[in-house]
Amino acid sequence: MSKIVNVRTVRMLTEKFQLHLLLHSADLVENELRRQLALIGVRPRQARILDALSRMEPASQIGVARAFNLTPASMSTMTARLIEAGFINREIDPSEARSNLLRLTDRGRSKLHDIHKAWREVDAIITDTIGAENAAILAKLTRELRDGLGGNVPG
């Protein structure tokens, strides 16, 4: 009996804060996204950067770092990995020699198809789990939350 009470108590305490439900759901969705993207050799943030570059290019490395709230060191690491994978090229900005411009390679552009397919798969899982109407409401509410907190879509 005490085990049941403890589980109920823990559930009541954690569900008392709506934040926990949102964070747990986000973790589960991101885990599925990681699984889907691993099949194509890309990580979630890499996928988002490639997608944003498709709209921004050529884009300064600093500009991309700012758009994704990445430190310069993290962006340098990310850039090196994306170059090594053959998804982007880096070149010196002709108008600012101390700045680098990033561009998608043909391989990076073709990878976007696979990334978008993985994103559609995760969207479908959400829709299958909570229904189309609730999925649309969830998307609307999370967009409002993101925008209200000062977030935006990079690129």
Residue 128 lies in a domain: yes
Residue 36 lies in a domain: yes
Find tokens 């709230």 and name the residue: 69
pLDDT tens, residue by residue, 82-137: 999 999 999 887 887 777 899 999 999 999 999 999 999 999 999 999 999 999 99
Residue 117 lies in a domain: yes
Residue 2 lies in a domain: no
pLDDT tens, residue by residue, 4-25: 556 555 565 556 788 888 999 9
The domain spanning residue 121 has which CATH number?
1.10.10.10
> What per-residue confidence (pLDDT) applies to 100?
84
- Give pTM, 2 decimals: 0.80
**Total domain count for the chain?**
1
Residue 92 lies in a domain: yes
Range of the domain at 125: 18-148
Residue 112: strand pairing partners: none
Residue 4 lies in a domain: no
Instruction: Measure the CA dihedral 75/40/113/60, to 10°.
Output: 10
> What per-residue confidence (pLDDT) applies to 40?
95
Residue 116 lies in a domain: yes
Residue 135 lies in a domain: yes
Q: What is the mean pLDDT of residues 56-78?
A: 89
